[in-house]
Each structure stands twice: as C-alpha cells, then as structure tokens.
C-alpha cells in the first residue's frame, strides 16, 4: 500500500513539474490564451506578443520579387489542406507573366510531436511562417499581423498580398487578371461588409462584449475568408497594431486599422468575385470568381484540375 501511495505521489509530482515547465516556456500571452473561451471577453496587450519568428521560409524577394503573395492561415491539423493547396491554387508559378507565391501562417500547438512534424514540413516545402503564440481561433488577429509583419520586413518587393484561409478555393488566375487593371497604391478589396454590428449573444462564435467593442456599428471591413491589398497598405498596417487595441475578430480588426489610415474599400470587379460561402461548382462559374469558402482538400484539387482542363473553353 505504501509503495502504491509513493508511486501515485511521484506521478502527480512529475505531472505538475511538466505542466510548470510548459507554462514557464510559454510567454505571458500564451499563458493567458491557451484556451480562449467563447462567450467571454478576450483582450490582450500588443506589448505581450513575442515577435520572434520560429519558422521562416528561405526566400529572396529582392532577387526574385513576386507579384502576388498569398498568406494562408492554417493550423497544425490541416496538413491535408496545405498539401491540396500546394498542388493547386497555391502552387508557386507564373500567371500571365506574374510570379505568385504562397505561404502558410501558424502559431504553436503545445505538442512536441506536432511541432517536430511542422518543422519537417517547413524543411520540405519552405513555405511555413510561425511565431510562438497559441494557435487558436481568437488569436487569428495575431496570426494575420504576423503575416503582414513578414511581408513588410522580409518581402516588401511584392506588388499585392492576399490573406485567406485553408478551406478556401482561390482562382489565382482570374485574380491576377483582374489585379493587372488595378492601382498598386492604397488598394484593398474583398467581400465588402459595410453595415455590420457586434453580436452580443454569448453563445455565438463571434460574440463581442461592450467592453471589447462599445460601438453599435463596425467600420467597413472585408470578410476574413479572403481579401487582397497592395504592398503599400501592408507597410502602413505594419506600423499600426501597437497604436490600435487588440480585437479578437481579425477581419474587423483590419477594418479598424483601415479606418484609422483612411483607406477606403474597393470592389475588384463590377460583378461579385469574392464569395464567403460556397457557390455550386461549374467550370464556367468558377472561372469568374476569386474565392469560394468551405472546401475540403479533395474539392480543392478536383476543382482546380477541372478548371485547368477546361483551358480556354468559352462559357
């Protein structure tokens, strides 16, 4: 009996020791955001964010500047989606004579094995950008700011930037075609949300308390499923976060930044091209859109193959 008690005590001791070690290795921000709760306030200080990069792609944008950089928010468990994107719309290529590159944005999982697998993936594909914050939905703002920081510090030579998600289908060919007719200054586009208000229902994924946002209307912003902006906007956004309070809804936060910068949202085309939902697939329809939301990895690869196969077929 005494041996059993001793064994049990040792197990408890080592478990507590491992947890303490884990928390000691996390920064102040991580400790407070391991499991951000829905239906509660979530505010942090930008001063608590560790701006050190853990994983970085080895690229030289000065030597080989891209025209369009795709920043794709993703999590550790979405490797299948990342592989599908690498083989389809996120494949590094030239489109209409313009170079397009894609990179994946991640935080940390707190799991040693998952981090090792991600490091190996980074070595294999050279397209992972990571900082030491907990990878959680309400930290999507931190993840997006990380991508903007990387553009501004490591790849300012690009002409345009797109932020999107791992469950998206992006018609990069049509996007480049449309961007060629747009200005490369103070440009920001996507699915425009011009009259949105805070959701006060504590059971909603998008709940926001009056403490987090006391206003009754959000400023104009673009759906976080996919938006595109010129490189000079990235530079301006890069300088702002420390002057604007953190807000957990990333697309609204970017809208708050744009309001401060006095940058107006623009339509990319006279017809809708950004879809925050998933339109029914047909090659003709998907040839004339930029984003479609809510796709499984196999959807992404199949739809891309069908679009490529359709070539210059008229619709």
pLDDT tens figures, 73-115: 999 999 999 999 999 999 999 999 999 999 999 999 999 999 9
Between CA 253 and CA 236, with CA 58 as vertex, the angle to 5 degrees is: 30
The tokens of 214 are what? 């006391």
Name the pairing type of β-strands 98-108 and 68-73.
parallel
User: What is the DSSP-derived secondary structure letter of residue 78?
Assistant: G
Domain-located, residue 148? yes
Query: Based on the domain organization, do 226 and 247 belong to the same domain?
Result: yes
Query: Are residues 103 and 23 part of one domain?
Result: no
Q: Determine the pLDDT at residue 253.
A: 97
Query: Residue 7 domain-assigned?
Result: yes
CB atoms within 10 A of CB 265: 20
Closest CA to 85 of 63, 99, 70: 70
DSSP conformation letters of 114-134: HHHHHHHHHHHHS-EEEEEEE
Q: What is the pLDDT of residue 17?
A: 38
Confirm whether 226 is domain-assigned.
yes
The residue to which tokens 């996390």 are assigned:
26
Contact 55, 129 (CB under 8 A): yes
> Would you say residue 301 lies in a domain?
yes
User: What is the rounded CA–CA span in Å between residue 228 and residue 168?
Assistant: 14
Residues 75 and 180 in one domain: yes
| Alpha helices by DSSP H, 26-139 | 28-32, 79-86, 112-125
- Based on the domain organization, do 136 and 10 belong to the same domain? no
Q: For residue 266, give the DSSP letter.
A: B
What is the domain-level CATH number for residue 69? 3.90.550.50
Query: Tokens 């425009």 identify what position?
Result: 192
Task: Mark whether 56 and 86 lie in a shared domain.
Answer: yes
* 245 domain-assigned: yes
Question: What's the pLDDT at 46?
Answer: 84
Higher pLDDT, 33 or 181: 181
Contacts (Cβ under 8 Å, ≥6 apart) of 51 = 131, 149
Is 274 in the same domain as 151? yes
Assigned domain for 315 exists: no
Over residues 233-253, mean pLDDT: 91
How sure is the predictor about 47, in pLDDT bands with cuts at 50, 70 and 90?
confident
- Taking alpha carbons only, the member of 154, 120, 127 closest to residue 51 is 154
More confident residue, 200 or 242: 200
CA atoms of 151 and 71, how far apart (whole Å): 9
- Domain contains 195: yes
Biggest CA-to-CA distance, the chain:
82
Handedness of CA 230, 154, 226, 203 (dihedral sign): negative
Q: For residue 241, what pLDDT is reported?
A: 65
143 and 247 housed in the same domain: yes
pLDDT in tens, 188-209: 999 999 999 999 999 999 999 9
| pLDDT higher than 50, residue 280 | yes
Beta pairing partners, 100: 68, 93
The band of 12, judged by pLDDT with boundaries at 50, 70 and 90, is very low
Report whether 166 contacts 82 (CB < 8 A): yes
Indicate if 16 and 43 belong to the same structural domain.
no
Distance CA 167, CA 158 (A): 24
Where is pLDDT greater, at 3 or 56? Answer: 56
Q: From residue 292, give the alpha-carbon distance in Å to each of 169, 171, 295.
A: 5, 9, 8
> What span, in angstroms and rounded, lies between the C-alpha atoms of 150 and 73?
13
- Packing angle between helix 231-238 and helix 250-261, nearest 10 degrees? 90
* Domain region containing 11: 2-31
Residue 3 has pLDDT above 50, yes or no: no
Residue 183 has pLDDT above 70, yes or no: yes
Residue 30 in this model has a pLDDT that exceeds 80: no
Quick one: 14 and 68 in the same domain? no
Split at pLDDT 50, 70, 90, the class of 37 is: low
Do 21 and 169 share a domain, yes or no?
no
- The answer to the question of residue 98 being in a domain is yes
Residue 238 above 70 pLDDT? Answer: yes
Least confident of 1-5, 127-131, 265-269: 1-5
> 270 pLDDT band (50/70/90 cuts)?
very high
For the chain, report the end-to-end CA distance as a whole number of angstroms.
80
Rg (alpha carbons) of the chain, rounded to whole number: 21
Task: Look over the chain and give the mean of its residue pLDDT values, rounded to a whole number.
Answer: 88
Per the structure, the count of domains in the chain is 2
**CB burial readout 234-253, b (16+ within 10 A) else e:** bebbbebbeeeebbbbbbbb
Would you say residue 268 has pLDDT above 70?
yes
238, 147 contact by CB (below 8 A):
no
pTM of the model: 0.87
User: Does residue 223 share a domain with residue 183?
Assistant: yes
Per-residue pLDDT of 133-172, as tens digits, reads 999 999 999 999 999 999 999 999 999 999 999 999 999 9
Same domain, 18 and 84: no
């Amino acid at each position: 009996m005494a041996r059993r008690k001793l064994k049990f005590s040792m197990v408890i001791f080592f478990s507590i020791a491992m947890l303490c070690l884990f928390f000691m290795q996390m920064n102040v921000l991580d400790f407070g955001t391991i499991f951000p709760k829905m239906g509660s306030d979530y505010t942090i200080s930008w001063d608590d964010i560790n701006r050190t990069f853990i994983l970085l792609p080895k690229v030289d944008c000065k030597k080989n500047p891209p025209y369009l950089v795709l920043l794709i928010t993703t999590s550790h468990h979405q490797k299948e989606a990342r592989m599908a994107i690498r083989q389809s719309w996120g494949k590094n290529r030239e489109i209409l004579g313009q170079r397009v590159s894609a990179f994946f944005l991640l935080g940390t999982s707190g799991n040693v094995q998952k981090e090792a697998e991600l490091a190996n993936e980074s070595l294999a594909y050279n397209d992972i950008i990571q900082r030491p914050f907990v990878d959680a939905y309400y930290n999507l703002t931190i993840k997006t700011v990380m991508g903007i920081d990387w553009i501004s510090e490591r790849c300012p030579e690009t002409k345009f930037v797109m932020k999107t998600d791992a469950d998206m289908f992006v018609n990069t060919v049509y996007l480049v075609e449309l961007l060629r007719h747009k200005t490369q200054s103070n440009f920001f586009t996507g699915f425009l949300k011009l009259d949105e208000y805070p959701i006060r229902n504590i059971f909603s994924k998008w709940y926001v308390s009056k403490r987090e946002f006391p206003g009754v209307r959000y400023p104009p912003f673009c759906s976080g499923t996919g938006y595109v902006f010129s490189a000079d906007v990235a530079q301006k956004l890069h300088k702002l976060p420390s002057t604007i309070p953190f807000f957990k809804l990333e697309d609204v936060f970017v809208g708050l930044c744009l309001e401060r910068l006095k940058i107006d949202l623009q339509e990319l085309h006279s017809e809708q091209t950004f879809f925050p939902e998933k339109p029914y697939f047909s090659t003709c329809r998907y040839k004339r859109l930029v984003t479609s939301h809510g796709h499984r990895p196999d959807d992404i690869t199949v739809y891309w193959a069908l679009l490529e196969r359709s070539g210059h077929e008229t619709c």
